[in-house]
Amino acid sequence: MMSDISKSPLYQIARPESIAIFGASNNFSSMGTSVLNAILTDGYEGRIFPVHPKEKRVLNIGAYSRAGDLPEVPDLAIIVLPTKIVAETLRACGEKGIRRAIIVTAGFSEVGGEGPARQEEIKAIARKYNIRFTGPNCIGVVNSQMKFNATFLSSTCRPGFIGMASQSGSFITQMFDYLEARFGQGFSTGFSLGNEADIDMADCIRYLGACPDTRAIALYIESIRRGREFIEAAREVSLTKPIVAFYVGGSETGKRACLSHTGALAGPDRLYDGVFKQSGIIRARSVEEMFDFCYALGSCPLPKGKRALIQTHSGGPGAAADACGRSGIELPALSSATLEKLRAYVPHTASVKNPVDLTFTKNPLDYFKAIPEILLEDEGADSLLVYFLATEAMVNRALESLGVPEAEIDAQVKTIIEDQCTSVAALMASHGKPMLGFSFLNRQNPFIAGLQDNGVPVLASPERAARALGALVECSRLREKLARSKRPASV
């Protein structure tokens, strides 16, 4: 494990104190300008030095005509220039003493003709000046904790705990809105790697493994270039931090798409299955699943086994139970102690099995505290899945029926929802068992947003919650396997 994150070549790339940007101008349509715009809009607090041959000011910031003119040696150079002048710019950065770069420009090994030779040229320059860089043909980096977003679109995401490395250029940027809308958070840190001429996936795994803001790591993989280093890095990191991969090079059509995309040769799908298993990596079958898994893994303690209880209202139990069956999750019967304790909360007519289908509870708020607490205490189960259907209107009506004055209802509804959500979150923390919610409601519903913001993962359907629970079970299984192994995968 990397003991000191500052030793990573990605440290100054992910958290630079100062940056030089090459290719930003006052022409709003240029890519370089979009990158600088995103950096400014997201509120980066470090020093910014635009470099432009003609403009004196770029987006209202004082500009310098050459790297050599910069008043200090910035931590990082971001290069968004035409392909043919990237090499000379990188050399000028090296002469200035800059040791980290993001090369956004495309037109290297991913294209034919002179592309591969141009890539070799920039690699040689980087070696000469000790420059470590991401790209070429990538879309920068985002670090939501530092409000540093050097991709081409600004983001409104709140800081999150999912760290990401992607070989697909703009994928990270495309996910900003999705993550915020789905989970109410963005990436802790996200790297776009492009052609990986220097820094690659294995470096990112080590960096994100040591990154204190990152609780789960997502990998978008088109091809792994340094196989052994990848396995070794992942085996070390996955012992303490979950890694989820989405591999798109496996099928024949996927393979062709990747070859033209980042110039990488995609390996056979089944080999990658094995590589992921021995690296302790959980494989996701879709983009949504990759983030569902990371979200659940970053939110929950790992289960001790695969036995789950399901708490639901009428309507949903069948779907959840069926999805669990297909995800390898077992649904044990409730213990007699649990049945005894539940009696006080459910009507005598209710048949209490697993899934626990409550149809209605004597007090609707028991659903958020008393009942899940009883279920978490059941010693025959390792985890709990809970269906959430509560709405503001339900709380409103309950307060009205209790005779609460109309003027006080809104404030009380807010307080009640917040109390319920924090109490659910406290339950998971105090019982050390994973608890996953699922609902067809989204974050516009204050219960869903409240639960998520308090740390209870709520997923978009029973199937997705069951699949995520399956990933938690698989994560503990893989981790135990790695811990049992006598020696690391290194040679």
Partner 1 sequence: MDPIKTAVDSGWTSLSEYSSKQVLGTWDIPVTREVLVQDSEEAVAAAEKIGYPLVLKPCSRDLMHKSELNCIELGLSGPEAVIQAFGRIREKINTPLEGILVQEMVAGNRELVAGLSRDPQFGVCVMLGFGGVMAEVVAEPVFRVAPFDENEAMDMIRDLKYRAMLDAFRGQAPADVEILCRILVSLGSLGLERPEIGEIDINPLIISPDGTVKAVDALIILEGVQR
* Cβ-based neighbour number of residue 274 at 10 Å: 10
Closer of 224 and 475 to partner 1 (Cβ)? 224
Q: Of 55-63, 264-272, 298-306, 332-340, which part binds partner 1 (CB under 8 A)? A: 264-272
Q: Which of 77, 224, 294, 421 binds partner 1 (CB under 8 A)?
A: 224
Closer of 411 and 483 to partner 1 (Cβ)? 483
Q: Which of 47, 147, 226, 307 binds partner 1 (CB under 8 A)?
A: 226
> With binding defined as CB under 8 A, does residue 326 bind partner 1?
no
Contact mark string toward partner 1, 168..207, x via CB under 8 A: ----------------------------------------
Closer of 62 and 274 to partner 1 (Cβ)? 274
> With binding defined as CB under 8 A, does residue 231 bind partner 1?
yes
CA 128 to the chain's CA centroid = 35
- Nearest approach in angstroms of CB 227 to partner 1 is 3
Q: Which of 47, 225, 313, 431 binds partner 1 (CB under 8 A)?
A: 225
CA distance 234 to 487: 14
> With binding defined as CB under 8 A, does residue 451 bind partner 1?
no
**C-beta separation of 101 from 127 below 8 A:** no
**Looking up tokens 């000379």, which residue turns up?**
88
Going by C-alpha positions, the residue among 402, 389, 455, 381 that lies closest to residue 425 is 455
Closer of 26 and 278 to partner 1 (Cβ)? 278
Q: Which of 66, 277, 307, 313 binds partner 1 (CB under 8 A)?
A: 277
- What is the CB-side half-sphere exposure of residue 156 using CA atoms within 13 A? 5
How many residues at the interface with partner 1, by CB under 8 A?
23
Closer of 81 and 264 to partner 1 (Cβ)? 264
Closer of 95 and 480 to partner 1 (Cβ)? 480
Amino acid making up residue 438: F
Closer of 286 and 485 to partner 1 (Cβ)? 485
- Nearest approach in angstroms of CB 274 to partner 1 is 4
Closer of 58 and 231 to partner 1 (Cβ)? 231
What is the token pair recorded at 473?
């079970």
- Nearest approach in angstroms of CB 283 to partner 1 is 12
What is the token pair recorded at 398?
């309950």
Closer of 53 and 274 to partner 1 (Cβ)? 274
* Cβ-based neighbour number of residue 140 at 10 Å: 28
Give me the residues paired with residue 57 across strands: 62
**C-beta separation of 45 from 104 below 8 A:** no
Q: Which of 5, 259, 409, 489 binds partner 1 (CB under 8 A)?
A: 489
CA distance 144 to 187: 6
> With binding defined as CB under 8 A, does residue 286 bind partner 1?
no
CA distance 417 to 101: 47
**DSSP conformation class of 68:** G
- Nearest approach in angstroms of CB 272 to partner 1 is 8
CA distance 354 to 374: 13
Q: Is the dihedral of CA 260, 199, 50, 148 positive or negative?
A: positive
State whether residue 410 is helix, strand or coil. Answer: helix
Q: Which of 98, 275, 281, 297 binds partner 1 (CB under 8 A)?
A: 275
> With binding defined as CB under 8 A, does residue 327 bind partner 1?
no
> With binding defined as CB under 8 A, does residue 130 bind partner 1?
no
> With binding defined as CB under 8 A, does residue 481 bind partner 1?
yes
> With binding defined as CB under 8 A, does residue 396 bind partner 1?
no
Q: Report the greatest alpha carbon distance in the chain.
A: 81
Give me the residues paired with residue 244 across strands: 218, 282
What is the token pair recorded at 318?
């069948």
**Looking up tokens 């029926």, which residue turns up?**
401
- Nearest approach in angstroms of CB 427 to partner 1 is 34
- Nearest approach in angstroms of CB 265 to partner 1 is 7
Q: Which residues touch 124 (CB under 8 Å, ≥6 apart)?
A: none
Closer of 215 and 261 to partner 1 (Cβ)? 261
Closer of 286 and 490 to partner 1 (Cβ)? 490
Q: Of 58-66, 91-99, 226-234, 404-412, which part binds partner 1 (CB under 8 A)? A: 226-234
Phi then psi for 188, rounded to 5 degrees? -65, -60
**Beta strand extents in 87-198 (DSSP E only):** 100-103, 132-134, 141-143, 148-149, 162-166, 187-192
| Residues that bind partner 1 in the complex, under the rule CB under 8 A | 223-228, 231, 265, 267, 270-271, 273-275, 277-278, 481, 484-487, 489, 491
